Structure 1
Amino acid sequence: MAAGPQLGSEAPDFTLPGGVLRSAPESAGSTFERTDHRLSAARGRAVVLAFYPGDNTTVCTKQLCAYSSGMEAFKGLDAEVWGISPQGVDSHESFARAHGLRMPLLADEGREVARSYGVTAPGIGVRRAVFLIGPDGVLRWKHVALLGATFQSLSTLTDRLSGIKSA
């Protein structure tokens, strides 16, 4: 496993295709807005990059549902949450609709971004990992799982983000 970016260094920039589920007025349902996401375009806000092995897998579903249900806490800390996995945007749309996920899901099909962050793994493709990027684009905290059976909790992430905002 490559080391990836070091704490205190600028986070590797990237642009990935993805989409986000947007709620529409009750009678209209929801839409999945597809667009490219560029990390450097999020400067001025903290970004939580949540790398996960796959859509609709047990632990990944629990993880992203937990983060999605906590979107107000992230927004209160002026932070965005982006989920990144090797599946395509069509898979992400199905996953978001099935579970009501409210964060952008990005498609790293060639695993180039996962490689630049040091989270590729033989067999599963991508390790479960979370990177907290400060509003200045600098990597402030990271956790890369050796085994992907657990994930960083919403409270752990919001506590870490609170520390970034007050630093």
Structure 2
Amino acid sequence: MTLETGDKAPDFSLIADNGKPFKLSSKVKGKALLVFYPGDGLPVCKQQMIDYRDGFDQFNSLGVDVIAISADDSSAIKSFKKEYDLPFTLLSDADGEVAKLYDSFGWFGVKRSVYLIDKELEIKYKHVESVSIYSRSVEELSEMIKRKS
């Protein structure tokens, strides 16, 4: 089944960068941007997360929490968060099960994608990159969030 705008986002529980369980339905209080990315050590992923870090205040001003999800294990995401001073939550989807639920898993693992969801877990926006060397910029996402609010 393919998820579409207007569908209810699948709930999940993953291990966060602080080593604790993170259950989507109990953590989302407003809007959230779920960001799936292939891995911490990849150049495009690093640049994407730095871009989102630098645009964190812009996301905050729009009332959006950023939640980034990769297939890296919990120790890797903790190190990645610390090394690049990332102010948002990173989650470990080591077996790719959540990425599969979100149409974000392919031949080479986790696909780069973004989902905007609201507090009822309704999908307001979905974009799965066809080629992992591209990512949505803070500016593109901010404009989309304004249109969907």
Give the TM-score range, shorter chain.
Answer: over 0.9
Match in the other structure for 1:137: 121
1:1-167 → structure 2 map (5 Å cutoff): 4-19=2-17, 33-122=18-107, 124-165=108-149
- CA–CA separation in structure 2 for the residues paired with 1:103 and 1:43: 13
Deviation of 1:60 after TM superposition, in Å, equals: 0.1
The residue type paired with residue 147 of structure 1 is: V
- CA–CA separation in structure 2 for the residues paired with 1:147 and 1:129: 10
- CA–CA separation in structure 1 for the residues paired with 2:143 and 2:24: 22
- Bigger-Rg structure (1/2): 1
Mapped contact 1:4–1:115 kept (Cα < 8 A): no
Structure 2 unaligned residues grouped into runs of 5+: none
Gap change, CA 1:42 and 1:164, over 3 Å in 2: farther
Question: Would you identify which runs of 4 or more consecutive aligned residues in structure 1 move more than 6 Å?
Answer: none
The residue type paired with residue 117 of structure 2 is: I
The residue type paired with residue 153 of structure 1 is: S
> Which stretch shifts more, 3-12 or 88-97?
3-12
- CA–CA separation in structure 1 for the residues paired with 2:101 and 2:32: 17
Structure 1 residues 80-122: Cα deviation after superposition (integer angstroms, max 9, x where no partner): 0011011111000111122111111100011110010111111
TM-score, length-scaled by structure 1: 0.84
Where 1:48 maps in the other structure, the secondary structure is: strand
Match in the other structure for 1:25: none
Structure 1 unaligned residues grouped into runs of 5+: 20-32
Deviation of 1:36 after TM superposition, in Å, equals: 1.8
Identity %: 30
TM-score, length-scaled by structure 2: 0.94
- CA–CA separation in structure 2 for the residues paired with 1:72 and 1:34: 25
- CA–CA separation in structure 2 for the residues paired with 1:107 and 1:65: 18
The residue type paired with residue 11 of structure 1 is: A
